[in-house]
Amino acid sequence: MSSLASGCKILILLQVIFGQCLTDPPSFTVDYQNDCFRKDGEKFRYISGSIHYSRIPRVYWKDRLLKMYMAGLNTIQTYVPWNFHEAVQGNYVFSGDRDIGHFLHLARQVGLLVILRPGPYICAEWDMGGLPAWLLKNKNIVLRSSDPDYTAAVDTWMGKFLPMMKPYLYQNGGPIIMVQVENEYGSYFACDYNHMRHLSSLFRTHLGDEVVLFTTDGAGLGFLKCGTIQGLYTTVDFGAGSNVSAAFAVQRHAEPQGPLVNSEYYTGWLDHWGSRHAVVSTAAVVKTLSEMLALGANVNMYMFIGGTNFGYWNGANSPFSPQPTSYDYDAPLTEAGDLTEKYFAIREVIRMYRKIPDGPIPPSTPKYAYGPVKMSQLQTVAEALDILSYSGSVKSMYPQTFVDLNQSFGYMLYRTTLPFDCNAPTPLSSPLNGVHDRAYVSVDGVAVGVLERDKALTINVTGKKGSEVDLLVENMGRINYGKYINDFKGLVSNMTLGKDVLSGWTIFSLSVDEAVSQGLLGETKSGDGQNPSKFSLPAFYRGTFTIPKDIPDLPQDSYVKLPQWRKGQIWINGFNLGRYWPSKGPQVTLFVPASILSTVAPNNVTVLELENSPCSSGLCTVEFTTTPILNATALPHFAPHRKLFRKLDV
């Protein structure tokens, strides 16, 4: 009997133990004593890659995630751009390409954990670092600080967004293991500890006490001074060729114990218009990656796939230097999600430290050259004002900015008249550098040139008193890094003619995307008034092409280039592909995802050429090709804005 009783006790004990194991909730924690993370109680090291859902069409999310998984990654990292989801205050969008819930679901389905970086500021070479432009309605707002208006807006946004994320936390059965608070705050001038404490409390309130919250800053002690606070795990970022021991020693200054983490290990770098395409050698990337993994460090590769700044989403650096449409980043997966030598080299390094999944790697997507498409001119911007500015114009003594007229992106037209005869060339100037960012100037319907922020502040004009002066102002992307992210757009200060301040403006807020997508633009009523040698009036052009039905597997991805076009914007079937500027470089082609193309109807191509089209010379085409061109810099003397991987303390 004693033996039977003893056996029953053992059976009951086993049932209790295994019952507890079966009911223990998932957990992800920091183990300070053993310098590691623990997932469900087991020692865990993440090898991660950055992917931005906002830069990749929804239909390709799973393809890119599968390629990342098959490279040996067990985790991905993604930013959440606030302005991508709340471009208009109070209007939240989480559908289509903005459906982050679906993106997280796919990551979990593929077998990837997620590191979420919801900001509210994210940098990311994204317009205004992800902050919505409507914050600037308060002209004196101090962004990324305890400013009451900024805090109230952040609280409202996070009160909407973070509760949506709570079910996706790992301890709740989802893929999110860590959440970053703010982003590289040690690189920002405000150094507002109360702001960081408030964000920490806000995140805890909405996400709970169990989630691992962390910060990321450059690997320098100066960055940690303002970037770290108690209760948020400190991580650092640095690129290939760095002194790994020295960089992690900086992290150890803030975190004497706990896992080593490089939250942004740069596999490439960002580009600027007019600079050379950034390239980081595969050999350098894999060497430093192996050094970090050999130390047992956790690594996130920024970027693993860069993607595309579709539409107007690119950011800029200061002094003002905007980023191009492509965010290829020289990453292991190209802008189009294609496999590279760097991808396979990284995969071999990871294989040394963890098992690579079995099975085939999804191939690079096929590309198709749809060939040249003949374009014909539609209306000039001035001719189409009734269509483009359907809400009507605004009269103002002096210029108003984009946000004054509740416009965030795109273009705005400012119109005034010459107050006196300008028989001799007279300087039209922005003495306070107030053209943000480029103004295409015409007098009485004749294009005369371009004013440009930081570069061209004066242009000579002639005309009679009362002549109509138009300035079509382009917002080229807001500054996303540093102290100047309060980046107002439009004419942000007065214009002068000679010594006189110009007044009496009529301002047109332009809804270009709506007019293009609805097919409202018509043919031009007259000649375009162009000066063939230099500039023509900003004008729209349209062409169509048909994809053959008898060729299987079409449509396929493509690239479009605009030979001899100067600068502008391009749409296909109403989808805003982004900006082109081949005369500047380094980007020449724009990525065309197959998802925006049609095989059942003609495909419409619309171009807004801002400076001078090639159509007067007879070559009036755009061309679809299979090969990207991202490194055709037209100005070899141009010095890149920032050195590779350099984080400035601003």
pLDDT tens string 502-539: 999 999 999 999 999 999 999 887 654 444 558 999 99
Q: In angstroms, rounded to a whole number, what is the distance separating the alpha carbons of residues 245 and 291?
A: 9
Q: In angstroms, rounded to a whole number, what is the distance separating the alpha carbons of residues 529 and 193?
A: 57
Q: Which residues lie below 8 Å from residue 542, measured CB to CB, with a gap of 6+?
A: 375, 376, 378, 521, 604, 605, 606, 607
Q: In angstroms, rounded to a whole number, what is the distance separating the alpha carbons of residues 238 and 398?
A: 46
pLDDT, one tens digit per residue, over 80-110 is 999 999 999 999 999 999 999 999 999 999 9
- Establish whether 291 is a catalytic residue: no
DSSP E strands in 197-307: the ranges are 212-218, 233-239, 261-266, 298-302
Q: In angstroms, rounded to a whole number, what is the distance separating the alpha carbons of residues 382 and 550?
A: 42
Which tokens hold the place of 130?
A: 């992800």
Which tokens hold the place of 321?
A: 């230097």
In this prediction, residues 257-267 reach a mean pLDDT of: 98
Residue 262 is predicted with a pLDDT of: 98
Kindly tell me if the per-residue pLDDT of 308 is higher than 90.
yes
Distances from the Cα of 446 to the Cαs of 197, 428, 512, in angstroms? 56, 15, 22
To the nearest whole number, what is the mean pLDDT of the chain? 94
Q: Specify whether the CB–CB gap between 603 and 549 falls below 8 A.
A: no
Please state which of the ranges 196-210, 359-373, 532-546 shows the lowest mean pLDDT: 532-546
Which tokens hold the place of 613?
A: 């089209």
Please state which of the ranges 427-441, 583-597, 621-635 shows the lowest mean pLDDT: 621-635
- Establish whether 184 is a catalytic residue: yes
pLDDT band at 18 (very low <50, low <70, confident <90, very high): very low
Q: Specify whether the CB–CB gap between 281 and 239 falls below 8 A.
A: no
In this prediction, residues 325-352 reach a mean pLDDT of: 98
Which entry of 86, 125, 182, 264 is annotated as an active-site residue?
Answer: 264
pTM of the model: 0.94
According to DSSP, the β-strands at 75-79 and 113-117 are parallel
Residue 293 is predicted with a pLDDT of: 98
Kindly tell me if the per-residue pLDDT of 3 is higher than 80.
no
Phi-psi region of 213 (alpha: psi -120 to 50; beta: other; left: phi over 0): beta
Say whether 110 sits in a helix, a strand or coil. Answer: helix
DSSP one-letter string for 39-63: ETTEEE--EEEE--GGGS-GGGHHH
Kindly tell me if the per-residue pLDDT of 23 is higher than 90.
no
In this prediction, residues 555-567 reach a mean pLDDT of: 97
No. of helices (H) and no. of strands (E), the chain: 12, 34
Distances from the Cα of 163 to the Cαs of 101, 107, 349, in angstroms? 12, 19, 38
Residue 529 is predicted with a pLDDT of: 44
Kindly tell me if the per-residue pLDDT of 10 is higher than 50.
yes
Comparing 196 with 532, the larger pLDDT belongs to 196
Which entry of 182, 184, 474, 609 is annotated as an active-site residue?
Answer: 184
pLDDT, one tens digit per residue, over 444-460 is 999 999 999 999 999 99
Say whether 473 sits in a helix, a strand or coil. Answer: strand
